[in-house]
Structure 1
């Protein structure tokens, strides 16, 4: 067992590296790496716009930017590290890899549309004008540490959903948890499926991941 600290996936069995021979899978894995980069670029662009809109002083801006950059790089590396498992035909069924390739095509088409909309000449010009507007320093306000009293009304406790993960492949658990960022023991099937649909995953593929959590074999 080795502690895979670089990928954030926890302990995994060491698998000898074998170059993928299926050209389509190899190219899909490379496109998936690019898709992660594009996602991060779009997110980073919005992060910077939000920071600029706050009109921070130079010290606060630099501190916030470097913190956001560290988080962005960490998320990108983790997302790309998961692709080595996701597109490995020795560890996953061909039908699941095929479904992921189809989902990847749809995702990249959507990314291209977002990119075209985000970086039109008109949008770039408007962004530049907003950035060049003289900043108005905002006074620093010390937040109050006093908490307002909370009035609690008696209510019935909602039923808590609990999922048992006994017998589920730990690799599947780590992959789905990393994809959805949910607590799989308390997340319902609908929550897991919704998380995949929000990422652009086709409904039938999302159902397959839910089935894995319910005992289906990958």
Structure 2
């Protein structure tokens, strides 16, 4: 049954914080799956560990959402102090307005560039997008320069990095190029992008060990 609760600052604050929680838990689940894939388990072990992790993840997320509903509800049997509810509403509304203002400013900046006749770049909010794109299309490299040694690196891991970064030449790409390419191409934060750089450098993400080199 649909609720007749009107949309006001309290509901806006609760929904915004709910979105934030979901974003955080989505990132946690992606990190869990990366670690699990890195273990190279057989199908039965992989499925068992994945389902166990999923149940734990769902319990934590459910508990977080339950705490959130209580946080903004001043009418239930366990009524929260209205002053505390109002304080948290103000804090979340301030964050929401900050995000909206940043989005409006980004739109205004892009409109100003278009009106000034500045050519529009491929869609990407990352400041290093142009550098990474240029490196992919017309790489300037020394054919005798250093190359990465992929001996012993599982092919599926190499494919993961290629798909994340969008780079065709991983052998000659520097750590910085791979890091920025992953952030731009896959729209992921630097900490997540660093994991793909570590894979290329022979770091076992699951166990944090270094692949031996010949």
**The TM-score by the shorter chain falls in which range?**
0.3 to 0.5
Higher RCO (Cα < 8 Å, 6 or more apart): 1
- TM-score, structure 1 normalization: 0.40
- TM-score, structure 2 normalization: 0.41
Q: Name which one, 1 or 2, has greater alpha-carbon Rg.
A: 2
Comparing both structures, which one devotes a greater share of its residues to helix?
2
